[in-house]
């Protein structure tokens, strides 16, 4: 009895939890109850973070993937279908997919930055402006852009890619790639 009152006792059964079993928790999420989301995070957050950590191998990216999983669950609570598995399985699966997307995004960003560095170095060596530091000007101009615009422009202008190739590499629609390049 002492262990249970000190908080070190056995975990509560589903019936002892605020939303009971998964069906009750899913119903709370369907009703857009913020407390249900909190309960889902409490129950499944460690598992979502764990699987994301194994995929990302970066705690910050893993945390972002886990958060994105719960945002997806909040935005689309109807995605849970008890005939296809448990709510925990769904959350972990979403976290894994989000982690994979984040890892791909990071790899894509690295591929974008390398040609940019090479182009800047080459441009700096061949600068017609003598004392003017072209690299500093280009870096300043790129720093004023949003990250999505900077990535699209770097791929298009420094990487020599078409807007279609930019869209494929960044995993975005072609229209979005065109807009980011134009706006940047």
- Could you tell me which residues come within 8 angstroms of residue 49 by beta carbon, excluding any fewer than 6 positions away? 62, 63, 66, 95
Cα of first residue to Cα of last residue in the chain, in angstroms, is 65
Q: Are 156 and 163 in contact (CB under 8 A)?
A: yes
pLDDT tens string 115-136: 666 666 665 555 555 445 666 7
Residues 14-68: tens digit of each pLDDT: 445 667 788 888 989 999 999 999 999 999 999 999 999 999 989 999 999 999 9
**Per-residue model confidence (pLDDT) at position 161:** 83
Q: Is the pLDDT of residue 69 over 50?
A: yes
What is the pTM assigned to this prediction? 0.56
Burial per residue of 48-87, b for 16 or more beta-carbon CB atoms within 10 angstroms, e otherwise? bbebbbebbebeebbbbbbbbbbebbeeebeebeeeeeeb
Q: What is the DSSP string of 91-131?
A: HHHHHHHHHHHHHHHHHHHHHHHHHHHHHHHHHHHT-TTTT
């Amino acid at each position: 009895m002492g262990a249970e009152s000190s908080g070190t006792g056995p975990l509560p059964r589903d019936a002892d939890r605020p939303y009971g079993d998964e069906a009750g928790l899913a119903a709370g999420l369907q009703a857009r109850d913020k407390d249900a989301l909190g309960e889902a995070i409490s129950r499944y957050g460690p598992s979502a973070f764990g699987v994301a950590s194994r995929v990302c191998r970066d705690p910050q990216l893993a945390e972002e993937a886990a958060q994105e999983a719960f945002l997806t669950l909040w935005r689309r609570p109807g995605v849970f279908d008890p005939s296809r598995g448990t709510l925990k399985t769904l959350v972990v699966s979403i976290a894994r997919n989000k982690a994979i997307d984040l890892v791909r995004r990071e790899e894509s960003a690295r591929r974008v930055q390398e040609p940019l560095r090479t182009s800047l170095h080459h441009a700096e060596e061949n600068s017609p402006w003598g004392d003017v530091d072209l690299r500093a000007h280009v870096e300043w101009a790129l720093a004023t852009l949003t990250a999505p615009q900077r990535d699209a422009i770097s791929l298009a202008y420094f990487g020599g890619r078409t807007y279609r190739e930019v869209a494929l590499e960044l995993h975005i629609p072609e229209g979005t790639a065109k807009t980011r390049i134009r706006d940047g």
